[in-house]
Amino acid sequence: MTAELNETHDPALRSWVTSADQPDCDFPIQNLPFGTFSTAGRREARIGVAIGNKILDLQQAGLVDTDDMNALMAFEPQKMTALRALISQGLAQSSARQPDWEAALVDQSAATLHVPCRIGDYTDFYTSVHHATTVGKQFRPDNPLLPNYKWVPIGYHGRASSIIPSGQAFKRPHGQTRPPGTAAPVLGPSMRLDYELELGWFMGQGNALGQPVNMADAERHIFGVALFNDWSARDIQGWEYQPLGPFLSKNFASTISPWMVTMEALAPFRTAFSRPEGDPEPLAYLDARRNREAGAFSITLEVLLQTERMRSESMPEVRLSKTNMASAAYWTPAQLVAHHTVNGCNLRPGDLLGSGTLSGPTSSEAGSLMELTAGGKVPIALPNGEKRSFLEDNDTLILRGWCEAPGAVRIGLGEARGTVVG
């Protein structure tokens, strides 16, 4: 595995971009996440790095000769490490590059932030055993967790074309549902619209068709991570998911945050990976000493909701749940890559691996309304007197994430925000 601690993680580092040094800033100089953006004066998308409340235009700063993010993501890990070091040095206090690079800075508030890269393929996994068990109980009370779950990372191929950037609204999906007590289905809008709290792992270097990626090399193929909300129509899903799994219930929209936090930036927040006592150990191709020692990541995640009425009354969003990837995920990112390629499947730069809903072990850590409301039977009471079993039109759902550890500077993943409209 790659991405050990180096000078770019130094907690004493400060930037001449003063907003990056503010407490609880998502994008201090120790983070330096990558994304694509455009401005009113230059509408073509280009590569940027977030620093404080600014964006550093990498091509204007003379750091890259391309505006193709996927081409940059295909760089060798050593080349990406060198690029990160150059960016860190140039943005650090007292850097000689400050006079030149100030002209390459753009206010985030003045930029349009896009999906971070071209997503060629998207696979959604099912990595939270807590989510799988809770939802399984609603569908299969006597057998909530299928026998393969603890042996194989479960996943399905999703739809990349409907992945949208944070801040974009989407239409409530229509599809077939079968109302309770009826024999025939009907076509209409989903009335059980849900969110899913996920992380999206972006592939960097690809692998050739027929060449599996082993665990020792798996993280070399991961570029970084973003927040991911795989919106789900639970009533459509319940009717269609057997025998082949989700289809129209998932592919109408998924929201991604605009910044990819690199594996190198995550280095201070690694943690040990282990299975609960009594669970089977992973098969050999899914196991490695380094993965056991530091293959998981401590990433705090929260879900917030703001209804149309809350906005009209100038009320802030309310938190629905909060959890941490380290306690929620049963499989590590490296294991997802190793399993995805063990049959010879070729992954490419920009491919996205969704974690699946990340729910922790307690009810307050649930990553979906399906869990929080017991399938809609126990509505959530909001501070203004409203209730929610599932999402209603003009509801805005926000995912946020950040990393903290002793001796390290806090870094953030930003937010993934989306609004459902009728």
Mind giving me the DSSP string for 5-32? --GGG-TT--BSSGGGGSTT-SS-TTT-
Please identify every residue annotated as catalytic: 131
What are residue 111's DSSP bridge partners? 39
10 is in an annotated binding site: no
18 is in an annotated binding site: no
Asked if 170 contacts 253 with a C-beta cutoff of 8 angstroms, the reply is: yes
Q: How far apart are CA 197 and CA 222, in angstroms?
A: 20
- Phi, psi angle pair for 109, to nearest 5°: -70, -20
Asked if 66 contacts 72 with a C-beta cutoff of 8 angstroms, the reply is: yes
Q: What torsion do the CA atoms of 185, 189, 192, 195 make, to the nearest 10 degrees?
A: 130
230 is in an annotated binding site: yes
Single out the residue of 306, 313, 323 nearest to residue 398, CA to CA: 306
168 is in an annotated binding site: no
237 is in an annotated binding site: yes
357 is in an annotated binding site: yes
254 is in an annotated binding site: yes
150 is in an annotated binding site: no
Asked if 52 contacts 21 with a C-beta cutoff of 8 angstroms, the reply is: yes
Q: How far apart are CA 271 and CA 274, in angstroms?
A: 10
Q: How far apart are CA 107 and CA 317, in angstroms?
A: 25
156 is in an annotated binding site: no
- Please report, in range form, the residues annotated as the binding site for Mg(2+): 230, 250, 254
- Please report, in range form, the residues annotated as the binding site for substrate: 126, 140, 237, 241, 357
- Please report, in range form, the residues annotated as the binding site: 124, 126, 140, 196, 198, 230, 237, 241, 250, 254, 357
- Please report, in range form, the residues annotated as the binding site for Ca(2+): 124, 196, 198, 230
